[in-house]
Structure 1
Amino acid sequence: MKTVKIYDTTLRDGTQAEDVNFSVEDKIRVAQKLDELGVHYIEGGWPASNPTDERFFKEIHHYALKNAKITAFGSTHAVSKNADNDPNLKSLIASGVDVITIFGKTWDIHVKEALKTTLEKNLELIKNSLLFLRPKVKELFFDAEHFFDGFKENKEYTLACLKKALEGKADVLVLCDTNGGTTPSEIRQIIREVKKELPHANLGIHAHNDSELAVANSIIAVEEGAIQVQGTINGYGERCGNANLCSIIPNLQLKLGYACLPEDNLRLLTSTSLFVSEVANLPSFHRQPFVGKSAFAHKGGVHVSAVRKNPRTYEHIKPELVGNKQRILLSDLAGQSNILFKARQYGFHLDKNDPFVLELLAKLKELESQGYEYTAAEASFELLLNRVLGRARTYFTLENYRVLETKRKKEEPISEATVMVRVGGMLEHTAATGKGPVNALDNALRKALEKFYPCLKEMHLIDFKVRVFSSLNRDLAGTASKVRVLIESGDPKHRWITVGVSFNIIEASRQALEDSLNYKLFKSDQEKLTKALKEASEGF
C-alpha cells in the first residue's frame, strides 16, 4: 500500500480563519488530539509572529507525542538580512523542533511588488535560507507560495525557484495553490510538467478552497505523485478555508488505497472533527462529508426502506469506518419505514400494518405541518412514540402558569414565573424568579416537582435555540411569526433535545421544558425497571 504523509496546519493556517482563535492551552489540546488521530506532522505555528505561538513551542516539549512531529513555520530571510542574522530563521531554530517549513515567493508579481526585490535576489533568499536551516533540523520542507498562479504566468521562474529549493536541500517541495483558484485539470497538467523538469523531487500539495476545489486538487496531486498533503481539520483557514483533511484522508485511504493514518485510526476522524470544532467554539457543520452529523442521515421513506435492507443502497461507505453512524430522521417526508426503524431503536418491533404505526405516522405529519421538527428533537419523538403506544405515564399536569417581566430604571429586568402543577391528586402552587422568563419558568416547575421527583435535581439545561418561521401572511410575519424552540438538557449520564412550537415564545419554551422534564422522568423509570429485572434474574 502506498503511503501519503498527512501534514496538519490547523494550528497555524487554520487559525487565520476569521472565527478561529486558539489559546496556548487550546493548541496543546488540539495537538494531542491530532497526535492521537495519527497525522504525521502538526504545524504548531510561526514562532516569530506572535507570543501565543512562541509559548506553544515552549510548552509542547513537555508532552510526549506518539505519532506526530511538531513543525515550526516561517519565511525565507528578509531582503535586508543575511540568513545567519535573520530573526525569523533564528526563532525557527530556537523553537527546538526537528522539522521546519519555510515558504518563499515563486510568483514573480509577488517578488517585485510584495518583497520589492529582484527575481535573482529572491532565488538567493530561497537557497540561502534553506542551506542555513538544513544542518539544524532532521526534516526541511519548502512551501512554494502561489506556485500554480506563478507557473501559469512565468513557468520558467517558478521552476527556477524549485530548483533553488533543491539546491538548498529541502526534503519536500510543497506546491501551493495559495489563492485557491486553480482547477483540477490545471493541477494535473502542471504537476506532470514539474515532474518532467524535476523527476527526482519529492512533491507536496497545499490547496486553498476559494473555488470549492481544495479537496479534489489535493487528491489529484497525490494521484500524480505528491507524497505529502497539507490541510486542516474541518477545512478551517483564511477566506474560504484550506483543504479539508476530514474529506481528504478517507477518500485517499478508503477509495484509493493510500495509507494515511495508523491502522484502525480512521475511526477517530469524526470525534476529532467534533473535538476541534468544540475547542474552536464553532458549531459543527452537519452536512460535512464523512464526519458530519447528516453525512449518513436518511429522511425520505424510500431511502429508509432501502437502507434497512442494504445500507449500500444510499451510503457510499460504512459510517463506522470514520467513526460516524447511520441516522434515520423523522419529518413530513417520513414513511412507515422511518417509523418502524425508530421504533426498533427504542425496543418496539412493530409490523408496518400495525394500527399504532399508522396512528403515529398521522400524528407526526400533523404536528410537523404545524412546525414541529423531530429531526433533532429525538427525545420529544421518543415520548410521542411511547405515549401513542401507552407506555409513558402522566407524571404531572401543568394546570396554568404566568410569567411576569419587570424593568426599573438602571436595574436588570426581573423575571418571575408562577405555576400550578397537579401531581396525582395534589395541586402545587408555587413561584420562582430567574434570569429571563424561560429560566424563571424552569425554576418554578422544578420547585413544584422536585419534592415528588428528586431525580430532577440531576438535570440541567445545556442549550436553548429559537428559530422564527417566515410566513407569506403579513399578519403572521415579523414579530407575529411562529417560533420553534429547541432545548438541550442533560444529566450526569445523558443529553437530550426537546421541541416546542407556538406564536408565543414563552409557550413554545414551556412545551419544550415540559417534554424535557417528562423525558428525564421517563428514562429514570426505565432505568429503575431495568435494574429491578436484573436483580430479579440474579435472584433466580
Structure 2
Amino acid sequence: MSTPLYIFDTTLRDGTQGEGISLTAEDKVKIALKLDALGVHYIEGGNPGSNNKDIEFFRRVRELKLQAKLTAFGSTRRKNSTCEQDINLKHLIESGASAATLVGKTWDFHVHTALQTTLEENLAMIYESLAFVRNSGMEALFDAEHFFDGYKANPEYALSALAKAKAAGAAWIVLCDTNGGTLPGEISEIVSRVVTEIDAPIGIHTHNDCELAVANTLAAITAGARHIQGTINGYGERCGNANLCSILPTLQLKMGYSCVSDEQLKTLTTVARYVGEIANVHMPVNQPYVGNAAFAHKGGIHVSAIMKDSKTYEHISPELVGNKQRVLVSELAGQSNILSKVQEMGLDVNSEGMKSRDVIDKIKDLEHQGYQFEGADASLELLLREAYGGSVQVFTVDSFKIMVEKTAGEMITEAIVKISVAGEQVYTVAEGNGPVNALDNALRKALVQFYPGIRDIHLTDYKVRVLDEKDATAAKVRVLIESTDFNDTWNTVGVSSNVIEASWEALVDSIRYALLGMVKDETAPDYSRGTHGLVNH
C-alpha cells in the first residue's frame, strides 16, 4: 500500500495574496466545494480576524458539511501580551473551523527585525498560542515561517522553535520556504535533519520565486515530509505558491504516493480551469498536466508517432488528470495532423490520396496570409469538412452594409444583411454597440426564424491583432472570436486589411459551425458537432 500524504490547499488564503486575484465570499464558497470534491484534506479559508469577507465565508461554509477540514489562518499572539487578550486568536476560535494554522517566526533575524522582540519571547508566543488554540478544541498546525532561511542562519534557534511547537501539541509542523529562495538539495538536506531531530509530523510550504516550488515540495516529501501545502494553479504572493496541479499527479502517478482517489484525480483539469475562471486569471496554455497545450501535438513527426502509440510523445495518458490529447494544424503540420483531425470528425478519408497534401498546402498558404488555426479549431473543422465532403451549406451571404451615425452625445451603428437560406432571400436590419455587434445581431435576426437554436449562441471573446504594424491604419489584422452555446466553446478566425471584413469572416464561421449541430442533410451522414473547432473560408 502506498504511503498516504495529506494535502493542504491554501488557494482561498495564500492564493488570494497573488497580484490581481480577488475572490468574493461567494467565489470562495464555490471553490471550496470544488476543492472538497477533489479530495484535499485541508481547505484553508482565510483569516477570520482580518476582514468581513472572510468572516462571511466561514459563516456560510460551516453549513456545507465539507469532508475536508476547514482551516482558519492566524498568527501567534502579540509580543508581551496574552492569548486571552489577542482579538485575532479570539476570531480564529470563533470561526467555526475545525483546524487553525498559526504562523510564527523561526528566523532570528525576523524576530529581532520584524517583531522587534527577544528570542525567548518569540518562543513563548509560539508555545502559548498553539496550546491556546489546541485547548479550545481545534486542531493546531504551525507554519514555521522563513524556516529554511532561519535554519541556514541559526539552526539551533530554528529547531528550538519547532520543538516549542511540538511541545504545545501541534498536529503538523510545516516548514516554510517563505522567500522561495532555497534550492532542492538544501530542502532535502534540511528536511532530513528535521525529521530525525523533531519527532512530530512534518509538512512543507514552498514559494516559487526561483521557479522551484514544485521541485522543492517533491524533495521535501522524499526526505520525509507528509503534509503538503499549495494552491491550485500555483496562485500566491509574488511568483506564487507550490502548484498542486503539478504536485498531485506527479506524486500519485510517478512517485507511488496516495493523495486522492483515481476518480478524483481525473477531475484535476476541470478544477484547475474552474478556479481560473472564478479568479478571472488566464491559465497558461503550457501549464503541465492541466493546460490546454499539455498534450497538444503540432509537429508532423510527433503526430505520426502518437497515432501509432500515444506513449511516443506523452509522459502519461491525459485522461488520468481529466485532460485530452489535441492535434494542432498549422504551417508545420504534416499529413498525419490532417488525417488525425479528419478521422476525429468521422469523415471518410483516403490516406494515400492527394487530398491531405492539397489541404496542407492550402493551410500553409492561409497561415502565410496571417490566419492562425491553432487557436481557431472551428474554422479549421469547417475547412476540413469542405475539403472532405462533410460540409452542409446552410446559408450564403449575398451582401452586407454598415452605417455609423454620430449624433449629439451618441454613436449609432446599423447593419443591413442580405443572405440566402432554405431557398429564400432574407433581408434584415439591426442596430448594435459597434459594427461587429450590429452585424452579429442582423445575421442572427435573419437566421433565427429558420433555426431558433441560434438564440443560445453568444460571443464570449473578441480579439484583434495587427499583423503588419509598419502599415499603420492600413495594416492587415487577424480577428479571433470565441463563441459558446453554454455546452461547448469554439473559436474562429478571420484575416483582412479591413477589420470589419476580418470580423465578419470570423463571425460567419462561428455561426456556420454552430449550425453543424442543428442541421441534418439527408444526402450526407449526420455530422454532429465534433471537437472545439475552427471554421470555414
TM-score under structure 1 length normalisation: 0.93
Q: Per-residue displacement from partner, 1:379-405 (whole Å, max 9, x unpaired)?
A: 111111121223323333323322222
CA distance in 1, matches of 2:6, 2:523: 52
Match of 2:218 in 1: 219
Match of 1:171 in 2: 171
> How far is 1:408 from its partner?
3.3
Q: In structure 1, give the amino acid aligned to 2:481.
A: I
Secondary structure of 2:515's aligned partner: helix
Match of 2:374 in 1: 375
Match of 2:430 in 1: 432
CA distance in 2, matches of 1:171, 1:529: 69
CA distance in 2, matches of 1:296, 1:22: 30
Q: How many residues align?
A: 527
Match of 1:537 in 2: none
Any residues of structure 2 matched to 1:386-535 within 5 Å, and which?
386-409=385-408, 411-423=409-421, 426-470=424-468, 474=470, 476=471, 478-491=472-485, 493-526=487-520
Secondary structure of 2:410's aligned partner: coil
Matched, 1:133 2:127: no
More displaced, 217-226 or 259-268? 259-268
> 1:111·1:117 contact (CA, 8 Å) conserved in 2?
yes
CA distance in 2, matches of 1:413, 1:53: 44
Q: Per-residue displacement from partner, 1:44-87 (whole Å, max 9, x unpaired)?
A: 11111111111111111111223x11011100001142012211
Any residues of structure 2 matched to 1:75-474 within 5 Å, and which?
75-198=75-198, 200-409=199-408, 411-423=409-421, 426-470=424-468, 474=470
More displaced, 256-265 or 307-316? 256-265
Query: Mind listing any 5+ residue stretches in structure 2 that lack a counterpart?
Result: 529-537
Report the CA distance shift for 1:528/1:462 in structure 2 as closer, same or farther (over 3 A). Answer: farther
CA distance in 2, matches of 1:139, 1:285: 36
Report the CA distance shift for 1:212/1:136 in structure 2 as closer, same or farther (over 3 A). Answer: same
> How far is 1:284 from its partner?
2.2
Q: In structure 1, give the amino acid aligned to 2:37.
A: E
Match of 2:531 in 1: none
> How far is 1:164 from its partner?
1.2
> 2:520·2:526 contact (CA, 8 Å) conserved in 1?
no
CA distance in 2, matches of 1:340, 1:162: 60
Q: In structure 1, give the amino acid aligned to 2:448.
A: E
Match of 1:538 in 2: none
Secondary structure of 1:12's aligned partner: coil
> How far is 1:407 from its partner?
2.7
CA distance in 2, matches of 1:528, 1:52: 57
Q: In structure 2, give the amino acid aligned to 1:191.
A: V
> How far is 1:151 from its partner?
1.2
Q: In structure 2, give the amino acid aligned to 1:303.
A: H
CA distance in 2, matches of 1:19, 1:532: 46
Q: In structure 2, give the amino acid aligned to 1:342.
A: K
Secondary structure of 1:114's aligned partner: helix
Q: In structure 2, give the amino acid aligned to 1:316.
A: H
More displaced, 212-221 or 96-105? 96-105
Report the CA distance shift for 1:533/1:446 in structure 2 as closer, same or farther (over 3 A). Answer: closer
Secondary structure of 1:407's aligned partner: strand
More displaced, 252-261 or 55-64? 55-64
More displaced, 327-336 or 518-527? 518-527
Report the CA distance shift for 1:170/1:453 in structure 2 as closer, same or farther (over 3 A). Answer: closer
Secondary structure of 1:59's aligned partner: helix
More displaced, 130-139 or 40-49? 130-139
> 2:392·2:521 contact (CA, 8 Å) conserved in 1?
no
Report the CA distance shift for 1:185/1:356 in structure 2 as closer, same or farther (over 3 A). Answer: same
Report the CA distance shift for 1:430/1:527 in structure 2 as closer, same or farther (over 3 A). Answer: closer
Q: Per-residue displacement from partner, 1:428-466 (whole Å, max 9, x unpaired)?
A: 443221011100011122233334444433422222222
Q: Per-residue displacement from partner, 1:162-194 (whole Å, max 9, x unpaired)?
A: 111112111211000001111111111111222
> 2:36·2:66 contact (CA, 8 Å) conserved in 1?
yes
> How far is 1:375 from its partner?
1.5
Secondary structure of 1:512's aligned partner: helix
More displaced, 235-244 or 346-355? 346-355
Q: Per-residue displacement from partner, 1:94-149 (whole Å, max 9, x unpaired)?
A: 11222111010111121111111111111111111111112223521100001111
More displaced, 28-37 or 351-360? 351-360
CA distance in 1, matches of 2:423, 2:354: 33
> How far is 1:494 from its partner?
3.5
> How far is 1:331 from its partner?
0.5
Secondary structure of 2:350's aligned partner: coil
> What is the identity percentage for the equivalent residue pairs of Structure 1 and Structure 2?
53
CA distance in 1, matches of 2:200, 2:455: 65
Q: In structure 2, give the amino acid aligned to 1:354.
A: G
The root-mean-square deviation of aligned C-alpha atoms, in Å, is 2.0
Match of 1:49 in 2: 50
Report the CA distance shift for 1:150/1:496 in structure 2 as closer, same or farther (over 3 A). Answer: same
Match of 2:66 in 1: 65
Query: Mind listing any 5+ residue stretches in structure 1 that lack a counterpart?
Result: 535-540
Report the CA distance shift for 1:347/1:79 in structure 2 as closer, same or farther (over 3 A). Answer: same
Match of 1:5 in 2: 6
> How far is 1:529 from its partner?
8.3
Q: In structure 1, give the amino acid aligned to 2:9.
A: D
> 2:12·2:46 contact (CA, 8 Å) conserved in 1?
yes
Report the CA distance shift for 1:258/1:501 in structure 2 as closer, same or farther (over 3 A). Answer: same
CA distance in 2, matches of 1:152, 1:490: 54
> 1:97·1:137 contact (CA, 8 Å) conserved in 2?
no
> How far is 1:273 from its partner?
0.3
